[in-house]
Each structure stands twice: as C-alpha cells, then as structure tokens.
C-alpha cells in the first residue's frame, strides 16, 4: 500500500513512518510543514529507503494538498499533523486553531475530492485515519473512571479544544459525505525523538546539565503513559484493520503521577550516570515546584479494552521498561539533542531538503 503520513517529521509521526518502512512492504510519503517541532533527523533511519519520500507542505494549503494526493494516489492517509503543546496553546491559541481545525478541514476536503474520483474497489479500501488525544475528554479528577470511546468531550485547554473540533469534523465528513474514516485518541506518549520541551525529555536533559527540574503545582497530576513505538504499531493496525467509522482509545496502562515520573528519571540517571554535574549530591535535589499552568487537568486514564478485543493490540512495554529505553536513547543520542537545543536542526533540515 501507499501511505501518506501528515506531520511525519514530528515525534509520533516519525515513529509511524519508521515503523511502516521497517516492518512492512508499504510505501510512505511524509508531508510536514516543518514548524519548530518538525525534525528531519528523526527520519534518518528511513530517509534513503526507496519506499520513503518527503514533501514539505502546509496542510492548510489546499492546492498543494490536492497536487500531492492526486500524484501519489495513497491507499491510506494518516493525519498526525498538529500543534500539540498545551503551554504554547495558552500563549498563542491562533496557531492551534489554524493547524488543528482549519488544517484538518482542508485535508478532509482534499481527501474527499480524491476519494470521490477513485473506482469502487479503491473507494472501499481507502482509509482516512485521524490521530487525536485523550485530552479531548477533559479531566477525571476525583473519580476512578477511565476514558472510553463513549466518554463525552469536555476539553480544558485551547489545544484540546482544537483537537476536539478536528475530531468532530472527521466524524461529520464520514457521516455526511461518506468519507471512510477512523479515529484514535491516545494517552501521553514518550520515547525516542521526543521534542525536549515535553516533560520526560526536558527532565532528562536538564538533569544531565544540572539544571532545575520544574514540576507544575504539587506534581500530583496523573497521566497514562504510552511508549511511542507501541503507539505506532497500534496506529498502523487501526489504519489497516479497523472498520470504517470506528474510533479507538489507545493507552499504555501506566497511570503515574508527574512527580513519580520525575523521580523515576532521577533514579535511572543515578544508575546510568552516577557522575553528576555541578557537584549535586542527588539528581532529585534539582526538582523545583513551579506555579501550575491555567486549567491544568489533574488526571487522564484510558480504557484500551476495545482495541484489544477488536484488534488484539496491547502495549509491549511496561512503563519501567519503556523509561529505561527512553533514558538510554537520550544518553546515546546527544547530537540529536544538541542540534535541537542550539537550533541547528532547522538549518540542517533545509540542507537535507535542498
């Protein structure tokens, strides 16, 4: 098959692209606008593969989308392009509205126009797979409930509101126009190639430099953590096996308080890198509590039983095994990290494209 992955130079998108190239015989075309979070070095392992290709495209550009979709003739479009950082959505909601809502609408329209031109057989096998977040469901604080596929939407941040909007658009294009869609909502991902502004890589890299480890509020916020390679495997399974119109929650079965995540990182670094910077005695001494962000949800937790029952997917990694792999990866890929920290990855990716 031929698969388009939007946002494929980002954290989860690049994992999906790598998974497909390394584990299937399918072709992959990554399209990405290459905003700050798009890093072509995350695709180094597949860049020279004859089944892989890349185009720099903004999903809000209808003409560019039409041209590339018509020329590539995909069997599947996996839509991961999105602004995704909650703090940035609080500081600048407009870019989230533009990419996550207008961009999804534009991609849906382009995909619908393409799908309508296919013959009946290819129409029946085509899939538009929209990848979303559990944050659309809101906050589970004060309950022992889990998010299910039937949980009402109640987003808290501009980010989650924009993703909720995009989910509704996808459902509407399926219901109204017949576009064959599937939707997945995932819990917090972690693992290799995660942009350093996010919690886990930020803590690892700050600790290695002896910098403060900033924890919001009291650190009691609970998240369900999903190893990114487990997620990529689940996404491909849904895109190729799920029935049209279905939606699936994908979680890691790993509820952890933020402060416990940070403490585990400190423990692993004590084991892997006992020689500490700045004469600190313990990595955990760097933990610093900072003012909580506005509207911060206290708990997310996913019930993944549907995807297990229907598609027999479950995560391979426990949180402990996945975190060991993650910390090892950052220790062994310092050049990737340095290129992001000094901004040179932006210049380097232009050299790769040109």
Rounded distance between C-alpha atoms, residue 62 and residue 150, angstroms:
33
Rounded distance between C-alpha atoms, residue 149 and residue 115, angstroms:
27
Please check whether residue 220 lies inside any domain of the structure: no
Query: Domain of 305?
Result: 2-193+226-253+300-317+345-353
Please check whether residue 11 lies inside any domain of the structure: yes
Task: Please name the residues in contact with 128: beta carbons below 8 A apart, sequence gap of 6 or more.
Answer: 76, 77, 79, 108, 111, 115, 170, 173, 179, 180, 181, 182
**C-alpha closest to that of 82 among 156, 154, 164, 171:** 164
What tens digit of pLDDT does each residue of 256-309 get?
999 999 999 999 999 999 999 888 999 999 999 999 888 888 899 999 999 999
**C-alpha closest to that of 211 among 291, 293, 289, 278:** 278
The total domain count for the chain is 1
The percent of residues in the chain predicted with pLDDT above 90, rounded, is: 85
What's the full length of the chain, in residues?
A: 354
**C-alpha closest to that of 36 among 120, 77, 92, 106:** 92
**C-alpha closest to that of 138 among 303, 302, 300:** 300
Task: Please name the residues in contact with 241: beta carbons below 8 A apart, sequence gap of 6 or more.
Answer: 311
Q: Are 3 and 74 in contact (CB under 8 A)?
A: yes
Could you report how far apart the first and last alpha carbons of the chain are, in Å? 28
Please check whether residue 101 lies inside any domain of the structure: yes
Tokens 């916020």 correspond to 221
Please check whether residue 326 lies inside any domain of the structure: no
Token readout for 226 is: 């999903």
Would you state the pLDDT for residue 351?
A: 67
DSSP summary character for residue 187:
-
* 3-class secondary structure, 195: coil
Please check whether residue 336 lies inside any domain of the structure: no
DSSP result, 224-239: EEEEHHHHHHHHHHHH
Please check whether residue 234 lies inside any domain of the structure: yes
What tens digit of pLDDT does each residue of 114-149 get?
999 999 999 999 999 999 999 999 999 888 899 999
Distance of CA 78 to the CA centre of its chain: 12
DSSP summary character for residue 23:
H
Rounded distance between C-alpha atoms, residue 3 and residue 24, angstroms:
11
What tens digit of pLDDT does each residue of 212-230 get?
999 999 999 999 999 999 9
Cα angle, residue 67 at apex, residues 61 and 69 outer, rounded to 5°: 95
Please check whether residue 160 lies inside any domain of the structure: yes
CATH number of the domain encompassing residue 180: 3.40.50.720
Any idea which residues carry the catalytic annotation? 134-135, 159
**C-alpha closest to that of 15 among 241, 326, 256, 331:** 326
Task: Please name the residues in contact with 225: beta carbons below 8 A apart, sequence gap of 6 or more.
Answer: 187, 188, 189, 190, 252, 254, 256, 261, 319, 322
Would you state the pLDDT for residue 354?
A: 58
Instruction: Indicate if the alpha-carbon torsion angle 146, 242, 245, 227 is positive or negative.
Output: positive
Instruction: Indicate if the alpha-carbon torsion angle 195, 91, 96, 257 is positive or negative.
Output: positive
What tens digit of pLDDT does each residue of 59-104 get?
999 999 999 999 999 999 999 999 877 778 888 899 999 999 999 9
pTM of the model: 0.94
Would you state the pLDDT for residue 175?
A: 98
Query: 28 vs 19, 49, 150, 253, CA distance in Å?
Result: 10, 10, 32, 30
**C-alpha closest to that of 311 among 220, 236, 253:** 236
Rounded distance between C-alpha atoms, residue 126 and residue 108, angstroms:
13
Please check whether residue 276 lies inside any domain of the structure: no
Q: At residue 328, does pLDDT exceed 70?
A: yes
Cα angle, residue 47 at apex, residues 127 and 317 outer, rounded to 5°: 65
Q: Are 227 and 233 in contact (CB under 8 A)?
A: no
Token readout for 145 is: 């409930």
């Amino acid at each position: 098959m031929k698969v388009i992955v939007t946002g494929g130079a980002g954290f989860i998108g690049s994992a999906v692209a790598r998974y497909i190239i390394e584990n299937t015989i399918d072709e992959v075309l990554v399209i990405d606008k290459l905003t700050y979070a798009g890093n072509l070095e995350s695709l180094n392992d597949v860049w020279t593969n004859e089944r892989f290709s890349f185009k720099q495209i903004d999903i809000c550009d209808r003409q560019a989308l039409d041209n590339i979709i018509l020329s590539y003739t995909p069997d599947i479009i996996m839509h991961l392009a999105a602004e995704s950082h909650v703090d940035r959505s609080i500081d600048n909601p407009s870019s989230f509205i533009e990419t996550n809502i207008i961009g999804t609408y534009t991609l849906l329209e382009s995909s619908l126009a393409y799908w309508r031109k296919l013959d009946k057989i290819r129409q029946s096998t085509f899939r538009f797979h929209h990848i979303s977040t559990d944050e659309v469901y809101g906050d589970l604080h004060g309950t022992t409930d889990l998010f299910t596929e039937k949980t009402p939407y109640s987003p808290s941040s501009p980010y989650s509101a924009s993703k909720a909007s995009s989910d509704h658009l996808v459902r509407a294009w399926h219901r109204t126009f017949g576009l064959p869609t599937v939707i997945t909502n995932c819990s917090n991902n972690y693992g290799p190639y995660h942009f350093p502004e996010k919690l886990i890589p930020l803590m690892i890299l700050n600790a290695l430099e002896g910098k403060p480890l900033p924890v919001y509020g009291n650190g009691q916020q609970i998240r369900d953590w999903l190893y990114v390679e487990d997620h990529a495997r689940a996404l491909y399974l849904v895109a190729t096996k799920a029935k049209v119109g279905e939606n699936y929650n994908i979680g890691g079965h790993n509820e952890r308080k933020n402060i416990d995540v940070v403490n585990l990182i400190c423990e692993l670094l004590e084991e892997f890198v006992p020689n500490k910077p700045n004469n600190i005695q313990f990595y955990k001494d760097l933990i610093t509590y900072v003012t909580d962000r506005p509207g911060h949800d206290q708990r997310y937790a996913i019930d993944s039983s549907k995807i297990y029952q229907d598609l027999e997917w479950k995560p391979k990694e426990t949180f402990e095994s996945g975190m060991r792999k993650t910390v090892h990866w950052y220790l062994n890929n310092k050049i990737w990290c340095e290129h992001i920290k000094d901004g040179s990855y932006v210049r380097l990716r232009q050299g790769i494209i040109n």
